[in-house]
Amino acid sequence: MIPHSRPFIDEEDAREVQRVLLSGQLAQDGEVARFESRMASFVGVKGAAAVSSGAAALHLALVALKAGPGCEVIVPSYVCPAVLNAVLYTGASPVVADIDPGSFNLSPEDAKRRLTAKTRAVIVPHMFGLPADLDALGALGVPVVEDLALALGSRRNGRRTGSFGTLAVCSFYATKMMATGEGGMVLGSDGALLAEIRDLRAMDEKDDFRVRYNYKMTDMQAALGLSQLRKLTTFVARRREIADLYSDVLRALGLPVPCAPGECEPVWYRYVLRLDGDAEPFIEEMKKKGVDCRRPVYKPLHRYLGLSGYEVTEETWRRAVSVPLYPSLTGAELDTVMKALRLLIPKYCSGRQ
């Protein structure tokens, strides 16, 4: 079975982890500091704070922004539950908004309708590697937390995503744009916010007491992250190459292809098709062909919370399917995926958007 996702780990990655392992300095130290510095430079912000996961990064970003009981945080429904959990960790109330039908990203119009005097922040995931409408979302007048978990390396109007919002967060989970196994980071240019996050991520050797968290990244993870970061532009180039091949298959069948607005440079974390009907039969047939496809969001937040409405999210969740796309996909595997698509896509997709 060709997996839906798979990390790219090479000998350089293994050597860097071994180097740190043999040094005896396993916990947070110099490798973490170097990783933070190089990530901040890559994204185009002044600083960064590495943490243990993407969820931890979101949690601490919201705490630093003073989200808590009595506050509201706007989040899109079409996203993984880590976003919802991060809001709830703070005691704030999540306000779930619908998405834009063309981009899978948070709808600025729906987010604006849900603004109140209690709104403390809006979390903006750049879904599947396509930058969200940061101009419109930034104009809402509340702090924007960009979520780069699926979009690290993408650009909008020539600028890296992550450099627009008040803060940005990354996840380095095994199948994200670059992997440290687990791990995350908060990035930004507000020194006071970053200092607060650095203070909150560790509990020991503090002069005062307050609730803090064991959210540190290890030097072993950071060494792997630095090695992966050196390859990130190569990863993005390979993802774009595969996306182009999939688009060629669709064009040959007379079907529309996923695309981005001219001001956006996506990284193609996922290649998402919109089928005519429910995605599950297509997923099952692809599996019989040896190809693991998935709904790109397992379950939208409004379904977890028992909320009604969210027509765009609901329709997107029902019809959207993601096919394998990652740098370690081999040529033979890619041929198998494309062959299966040529056979099955005409049965399930007429080009209706």
| Domain segments of the chain as ranges | 11-227, 232-348
What pTM was computed for the model? 0.96
Is 333 within 8 Å of 2 (Cβ atoms)? yes
Q: Tell me, what amino acid is at 141?
A: G
Task: Report the phi/psi class of residue 163: left, alpha or beta, with left for phi > 0 and alpha for psi in -120 to 50.
Answer: alpha
Structure confidence at residue 352 (pLDDT): 61
CB atoms within 10 A of CB 191: 10
The topology under which CATH files domain 232-348 is Aspartate Aminotransferase, domain 1 (3.90.1150)
pLDDT for the residue numbered 35: 98
Q: Which regions of the chain are under pLDDT 50?
A: none
Residues in the chain: 353
pLDDT of 353 reads 56
Would strands 159-160 and 47-51 be described as parallel, antiparallel, or unpaired? unpaired
Do 296 and 320 contact (CB within 8 A), yes or no?
Answer: yes
The pLDDT assigned to 351 comes to 67
- CA-CA distances (angstroms) from residue 261 to 46, 102, 156, 185, 265? 28, 10, 9, 28, 8
pLDDT of residue 319: 97
The reported pLDDT for the residue numbered 262 is 86
pLDDT above 90 coverage of the chain, percent: 96
**pLDDT of amino acid 259:** 87
Residues 6+ apart with CB under 8 A from 231: 8, 10, 178
CATH level 3 topology of 11-227 = Aspartate Aminotransferase; domain 2 (3.40.640)
- What are the strands of the beta sheet with 184-188, ordered from one edge? 47-51, 184-188, 167-171, 144-147, 119-125, 72-76, 93-97
Closest by CA position to 285, among listed 203, 208, 342: 342
